[in-house]
A = this chain, B = another copy of it.
Amino acid sequence: MKDWLPAIDSHRQTLAYKKGETIFEEGMPVKGIYFLNRGKVKIYRKWGHQKQLILHFAKEGDIIGYRGLANESIYPVSAMALEPSTLCFVDTVFFETTLRVNNELTYKLMQFYSNELQYAERRMRNLAHMDVKGRVAETLLMLKKDFGENKEGIINITLTKQDLASFAGTTYETFFRMINEMAKQKIVRLSGKEIAVLKARKLKELSTMK
């Protein structure tokens, strides 16, 4: 992913966001693409005013806003900083010009989209058929894989239970019950917002079709 940064290195503009600040919102016109230098960001789609489905948690090095590079020039998703974050912004016109002349970059981005599409469609299938406990299990495995864990085995991302639930595609209450049950069975260890996976094998099992 980092490989394409040099190509647009010149035209960048650095922006800082506080925790809870919105970077862009679905329905807003696309102005450019963002690269996350520092911090963590959630990408989500809203449903009504209260509900949302979190599609992705972005970390340092990730690009954000690429979903807007389609025909529609409107963001199909929203992005909010989960901690103080620094992003560099490249306006669409320049980015697209770069893509037009840099075939390698375009090819990489295309492959990247292809992977994202695979991931989205797998999750779609899971939302349709996997039970909530399975989705909670998968959520934890995904976070562990994407963000890693420290020496104590604690996953390197701090999230509210509500955000975890919105990522798993369920309600806060149900998520809480599920993860609590897993804690009782010593599959995970919880302490405040810290989560450690103790039995990855068991989680894998829970997220496998029965």
Contact = CB atoms under 8 A, between A and B. Distances in A.
A128 interface: yes
Interface in A96-121: 99-101, 103, 106-107, 109-111, 113-118, 120-121
A75 to B, nearest CB: 10
Nearest to A51: B129
A128 B55 contact: no
A120 B122 contact: no
Interface in A44-71: 45-48, 51, 53, 55, 66-67, 69-71
Interface residues of A, number: 43
Taken together, the copies of this chain in the complex come to 2
A127 interface: yes
Interface of A: 45-48, 51, 53, 55, 66-67, 69-72, 76-77, 99-101, 103, 106-107, 109-111, 113-118, 120-125, 127-130, 169, 209-210
The 8 A-B residue pairs whose C-beta atoms are closest, nearest first, are A113-B113, A70-B114, A47-B129, A128-B169, A110-B110, A127-B127, A45-B125, A120-B120
11 contacts: A46-B125, A47-B128, A47-B129, A51-B129, A67-B118, A69-B114, A76-B118, A100-B103, A116-B117, A117-B120, A127-B127
